[in-house]
Structure 1
Amino acid sequence: MVIPLSTPATEGALLVPYPATLDVPHELVEHVAWLLYEHRRVRNTRWRKLGCFKQALLTLVHLRKNETFSQLGAGFGISQATAWRYVDEALDVLDSWAPGLHEALTGLGEGDHVIVDGTLIPTDRVRADEPYYSMKHRRHGMNVQVIARPDGTPLWFSRATPGRTHDLTAARAHSIVQACLTRQIRVLADRAYQGAGATFRTPYHHHSEQPEHYLQFNRDHARLRAPVERAFAQLKSWRLLRRARCSTRRIGTIVQAVHTLLTCNYSG
């Protein structure tokens, strides 16, 4: 008799580890390992079952492949609880190294321009969790704002706010509007940011008899703003952020941890 893998007969069964590869540079794993080593040294941490390199690899596997802690524990020879603690600690370390808004805008000023947009990090929520439901995306999640260079290179990711938060509200709450105004940085944004004023540039409203030069402006604006999708693609290349199963309170930390991984300089 053949028992399908999805039947309850396999629930609670031991997981079988297997060889696998991770599509990140070896230097990135070493860089995260050095950050963890410094963290352990400062705290005078006692002996751990996993060394710094293995803990860094464990964390990157979790972020990149979105594997559960049970799967991670089986693969690294540790318990599910230990895997959770190691990943949680590493995320906090990476979060502490994420650049702040003012640091990210250093070197930019009058005459420069950036692109601002928001994205939704999907989450597992029930219908009753109204604050996390985005009417725009028709699903539950967390709102994250991004500031990107004209070529789409991400400069800064915001903390996560509940999915129903309007993009303009989020931009004001994260001080993006004020920071760009202070530096006189021009901002390209979509219609969700209309009313931001300051240095924000948004498309014209659609009207039935809109002048041709307004339509041309909107087309040019959309073309210049399109590269922001590259920033979102880089963020969500870490599969955990395509469908987060964790607490919504931890998503902000995860986004900042990924931000560190995207912006860190490990070449030297």
Structure 2
Amino acid sequence: MNNRPAEGPEGFVYQCRLSLSSVTVNLVADLIRGRLKKIRSRWRKLGPGRIAVIVLAVLRHDQRLLDMAGGNDVFASTVRRWVLEVIELLAARAPRLDRALKKITRKGGVVVLLDGTLVRTRRRTGDENRPNYSGKHKVHGLLFLALTDERGNLAWISAAKPGRSSEITAARHNKITAHLREAGLGALTDLGFVGLDDAPDDPVIVLITPRTAPLVKARG
């Protein structure tokens, strides 16, 4: 009896372009090499460079783990392990909020831009579904807060919060105003952060319209 699929061969492998610079790929590959050296791992199915490209394809374009595994002759569980490993390595490089603000101060900065963004995610199953649903945006996702300098260069980004969280609650959880006051900086932000600053006599939060880009350009 012939049990092979009627469609023909098991599958095809095709090429696609990953819109990332070689600097990014080399950065991730170097992190993987450092990790392998630290844990004294002598062998892996693929080299750090190939692993970096696979992981970045998953993170950048949400490529299916099974597809990436089949195209590189590894298991989907292996790709998942690589992705989680790289996420951990990248997270370890993230600057602490207080250090990021002090770095801006040393460069002569006096103000930062504060904003929140919702990164869309797939709908989850069971009890984990509801916390990630944003009533404001009507989609599932994770909430992040970001601080940039006056030119819009990213200085710090928060850990992910469930999509149903509000921006002001996330800001209070991260003690944004206390860190700004300690660093001697002020923050320009939109109306989503009304009521965040709890010291009206010594304010560090300046509310502006939701469109911050024209203001930043005008300040430059």
Question: Where on the TM-score scale, by shorter chain, does this alignment land: which range?
Answer: 0.7 to 0.9
Aligned counterpart, 1:106: 102
Distance 1:169 1:41, change over 3 A: same
| Cα distance in 1 between the residues matched to 2:68 and 2:137 | 31
CA contact (8 A) 1:189 1:225 kept: no
Residue 130 of structure 1 deviates from its aligned partner by 2.8
Residue correspondence of structure 1 range 88-167 to structure 2 within 5 A:
88-109=84-105, 112-125=110-123, 129-167=129-167
Residue in 1 that maps onto 2:47: 51
Q: CA deviation at 1:108?
A: 2.7
Partner residue in 1 for 2:172 = 172
| Residues 1:195 and 1:45: Cα distance change in structure 2 (over 3 Å) | same
CA distance in 2, matches of 1:219, 1:166: 16
Aligned-residue Cα RMSD (Å) equals 2.6
Identity between Structure 1 and Structure 2 (%): 30
Q: Is the 8 A contact 2:118 2:141 kept in 1?
A: yes
What is aligned with 2:214?
223
- For residues 78-137 of structure 1, give each alpha carbon's deviation from its aligned partner in whole angstroms, at most 9, with x where no partner exists: 121111112221221121112221222233338611110111111222696332221211
Kindly indicate whether the alpha-carbon contact (under 8 Å) linking 1:15 and 1:71 is maintained by their aligned counterparts in 2: no
Change over 3 Å in CA distance of 1:55–1:225 after alignment to 2: same
Equivalent position of 2:70 in the other structure: 74
Conservation of the 8 A alpha-carbon contact between 1:188 and 1:225: no
1:87 aligns with 2:83: yes
Query: For residues 131 and 174 of structure 1, what CA distance do their matches in structure 2 show?
Result: 19
Q: In structure 2, how many angstroms separate the alpha carbons of the residues matched to 1:177 and 1:125?
A: 33
Distance change in 2, residues 1:35/1:14 (3 Å) = same
Equivalence map 1:185-204=2 (5 Å): 185-197=185-197, 198-203=203-208
> Structure 1's 157 and 125: CA in aligned 2 closer, same or farther, altered over 3 A?
same
Q: CA deviation at 1:14?
A: 3.6
Residue 144 (structure 1) shift? 0.5
Q: Which residue of 1 aligns with 2:27?
A: 31
Residues 83 and 155 (structure 1), Cα distance of their counterparts in 2 relative to 1, 3 Å cut: same
Stretches of structure 1 that go unaligned for 5 or more consecutive residues are 1-8, 204-217, 228-268
TM-score under structure 2 length normalisation = 0.82
C-alpha distance in structure 2 between counterparts of 1:35 and 1:100, whole Å: 19
Offset of residue 56 of structure 1: 1.0
Q: CA deviation at 1:219?
A: 9.2
5+ residue gaps, structure 2, are 1-5, 198-202
> Higher RCO, 1 or 2 (CA under 8 Å, sep at least 6)?
1
Structure 1 counterpart SS, 2:104: coil
In 1, the alpha carbon distance for the partners of 2:43 and 2:60 equals 27
The AA in structure 2 aligned to 1:223 is P
- The alignment partner of 2:41 has SS state of coil
